[in-house]
A and B are shown apart, each in its own frame.
Chain A
Amino acid sequence: MSKLTKIVMPLAVVGMAATAFMATPAKAEWQPKGPISVIIGFAAGGGTDTQARLIAAELKKRKGWNVIPSNVTGKGGVVMARKLKGLPNDGLTIGMAVTEVFGYNMLASKKAGYKTDDFTYIATTTSSQMGIVANTSKGWKTFADVIAAAKKGKVFKFAGMSAKHADINFLIEQKYGVKFNTVVLRGGRKVMNAIIAGDVDLGYGAGIQSKAVRSGKMVNLASGLSQRLKISPNAPTLVEMGIPYDIGAKFIFVAPAGIPGEARKALADAIGDIINDPSTKASQYVSKGYGGPDVITGKKLDAFIQNEIKIAKVLMKLMK
């Protein structure tokens, strides 16, 4: 190798990396002026993370947009929202979380550090199939069995993904006179791992448990939605158990408030097209474990968020 090539070779590698950013096709509609970073509010490997990354890969394929995902975890998405709020509103930074981050979790945090109108809401992708889950080997058939065992004085370890789950557990404790040791983990994947490893006895799953439930390794003990879960029709809803609340949520992309209107529309359209196209991996993923494609954008989405806050306030009142 000559002296020159020794110097040129590593530089060529950097050059190749740099050109990767320039490959953006010219079109009339809004185009990002650089890589778009997606900040995911939950840990890698969970439902939010998987959806965000599948959509990121498809955006690159369809639009040539360079989408760079990263995870900012903690407090059930609240830490991510707080970070996102202060970032530039040029459409190049968006976040992904669940709707309760902008409803219940925001109101329940003493100092969330952000408000509803700190964000522009872009698009939802799907709705959760929220259930209370345990290993089948525990021998429980429904949540009533857990309550019965807890009433005998057993204190179970119970994992949730957000403050809301901890509060629901508090309501259950109040209603039935039982005690749980509740721990909030960073995302559905961590809850699943903790249940499988026996580190906790039961936990909340937003749909990531579906595969394990179908194979018979895990069981949905209760549904967190207002209706029973599709794959576990025998599990009662929390409402039936006397906890009058639907804790289902939707997965949502958001941006800092005030991003350009055309950027909001372009992002929402691109994400919606991907989720609604049954041939994409993202669409197949949300159909297999979650409520299927459920894209809400624009004014309808703003109204949906306002409604979330209204419902959250009702539950907050209940807590007091």
Chain B
Amino acid sequence: MGLLDHIWLGIVTVFSADPVFSIAGLPISITIVMVILGFLFGIFVGATPGIGGPFAMAISLPILISVFGFDANALLPVLGFLVGIMKGSTIGGAVPAILFNTPGTPDSLMTTLDGYPLTKRGQPGKALRVAHFSSVSGDTFSDIVLITCAPFLAILVEKFLDFPEKAALIILSLAFVSAVVGSNVWKGMLAALLGLFIAYIGTGEDGHPRLSMGSDSLAAGFPLISAVLGVLILGEVFKSLEDMWREMKDTSSITHVEVKGDNKLHLSDIRRILPFIGISASIGTMIGALPGIGSTLAATLGYATGRKYHKGSPAFGEGAIEGIAATEAANSAVAGANLIPVLSLGIPGNVSAVFILLATETISGFTPGPQVFRLVPDQINQEMVYAFGLFTTMIFANGLNWTLGGIFMRWMGVMIRIPKQRLLPIVLLLTLTAIYVQQTTMFAVYVTLGFGFLGYLMRKLNMSVLAFIIAYILANNLEEAMRQAFAVTGADPWFLFAGPISITFMVLAIAVVVFFARNQKDLS
């Protein structure tokens, strides 16, 4: 079976497996329905300030798994829903940024700079259309890079990475994430080490449960989903509640803007913004392929680069459509490329990728890694079929973004009116319910609350939550890779420095930390 057969099977699986109903004789598969639902949910949460795509993915995953189950048939519907959220929320985020000067997600902060001035001039429609066009272009570009690169990268990984190199690569990823994310390299490293430490409770190959202090509940380690959702969601909820309490006196009202002047997106406008989209999409894709940096930095870099190249008026920051294009193309281009390290190595780079990885780990039939893209003569590699199925859902979601996204996006302006004090308790309730639905023990709920408090403290101390989460998820892979590399090299204590590739990874890991730590000093 060749590559094309697998691609075709992936597409067929997405569109025809398990049809739920048919429209005019055309059966509509469950996966397609889930992508559409996820996409609508994604736009909705993206446009709601205070919650975003990762929130929605986190809450959905446990519920989806208890609805669809764990066997391989559940894979594409669940992944489809998550992909839908991922895509929908990228375009939704620009809406409150443009209309109300409030970014829906941190990475649309730069969108406010040019989007809001346009709104004040009476051109919110134009701003939204530019944001939509740029965002979807960036996203599509990134997906194309993912689909063409991931299989080749996976083959390279399989050919050149042995046990010691895999261990070194995980160390490099962790060093990179700790150094790049967040305010301070050393705080990032601390967060990552804390993640490793907590992940090592109760796990491992010891004769007795490690670090459990004799507690039976700790003997099996913390439930993964409780730890991730606790730190990521509850931590944020607690922090927002505190912020709200502080800002109670600040009662800014939403002003109504009169729509006037040119609100269409003309061909000449597209010609103006295309170069900016091109540059930003490339920046976003490159950043996405590296673990840990994420869309906020991509947006900032895209905007800064765009500003450097921009000539003429209006200038950036005064309502230039090029500014919106540069930001939105960059932050949207991160999502697709972020799946490159996930699919070829099993290493997640940002929060959305974490949930895609968690879904594949919980549901059987698909384990990200080099074997996904291996061609076996005369046989179907089912994992490759799923991979192309996943790509198909991404392209389908892009199609939704191109066609319906713009329309839905313009409706979502009302979301700003949802008061945060109503929203946060709902998020809290949904998270705890989702945890209980999947784990069915109160212990998991208490653990989630505990990790929520940890997440709150980390946010107060300006420690990177993402470094913690990624370290927590990679901890056991790291331990396994280290033990196996040690055994397979015949108990060589210098196994990490035995080959040129692993030495390169280790040197890079140290270099990344030193480089960012020094730059930090310059800034302060």
Contacts and interface: CB of A to CB of B under 8 A. Distances in A.
Contact of B490 (A6, A50, A181): A181
A151 interface: no
Nearest to B430: A10
Contact of A14 (B72, B434, B480, B488): B434
Interface in B376-424: 376-379, 414, 418, 422
B426 A181 contact: no
Interface in B39-81: 59, 63, 66-67, 69-72
Interface stretch (B10-18, B23-31, B314-322, B363-371): B363-371
B131 to A, nearest CB: 22
Interface stretch (A67-75, A124-132, A233-241, A291-299): A67-75
A68 B70 contact: yes
Interface stretch (B177-185, B200-208, B511-519): B200-208
A199 B205 contact: no
Interface stretch (A16-24, A137-145, A265-273): A16-24
Contacts of A49: 364
A152 interface: no
Given A50-B364, A74-B205, A79-B205, A197 B158 contact: yes
Contact of A183 (B367, B437, B487): B487
Given A57-B71, A215-B376, A17 B364 contact: no
B41 to A, nearest CB: 9
A155 interface: yes
Contacts of B374: 196
B99 to A, nearest CB: 17
A203 B490 CA distance: 16
B17 to A, nearest CB: 15
B205 A183 contact: no
A69 B369 contact: no
Interface residues of A, number: 59
B440 A44 contact: no
A111 interface: yes
Interface in B90-120: none
Q: Chain A interface secondary structure, helix, strand, loop or mixed?
A: mixed
B5 interface: no
Contacts of B72: 53
Nearest to A110: B207
Contacts of A111: 207-208
Interface in A50-73: 50, 53-54, 56-57, 60, 68-70, 72
Interface string A169-200: 00000000001011111100100010011111
Contact of A20 (B66, B430, B484): B66
Contacts of B158: 197
A215 B379 contact: yes
A157 B488 contact: yes
A274 B216 CA distance: 34
Contacts of B205: 74-75, 79
B504 interface: no
A16 B209 CA distance: 37
Contacts of A112: 207
Interface in A86-122: 86, 109-113
Given A14-B434, A196-B371, A197-B158, A181 B488 contact: yes
Contacts of B369: 193
A183 B433 contact: no
Given A13-B63, A212-B376, 12 more contacts: A7-B422, A34-B440, A53-B70, A68-B70, A109-B207, A110-B207, A111-B207, A112-B207, A159-B488, A181-B489, A197-B158, A199-B488
19 contacts: A7-B426, A14-B430, A14-B433, A14-B437, A44-B361, A44-B364, A50-B364, A53-B70, A56-B70, A70-B362, A82-B209, A83-B220, A113-B207, A113-B208, A179-B490, A189-B367, A193-B370, A211-B379, A215-B377
Interface of A: 1, 6-7, 10-11, 13-14, 16-18, 20-21, 34-35, 44-45, 49-50, 53-54, 56-57, 60, 68-70, 72, 74-75, 79, 82-83, 86, 109-113, 155, 157, 159, 179, 181-186, 189, 193, 196-200, 211-212, 215, 217
Top 9 closest pairs, chain A to chain B, by CB: A111-B207, A183-B487, A183-B488, A181-B490, A57-B71, A53-B364, A197-B158, A17-B63, A17-B66
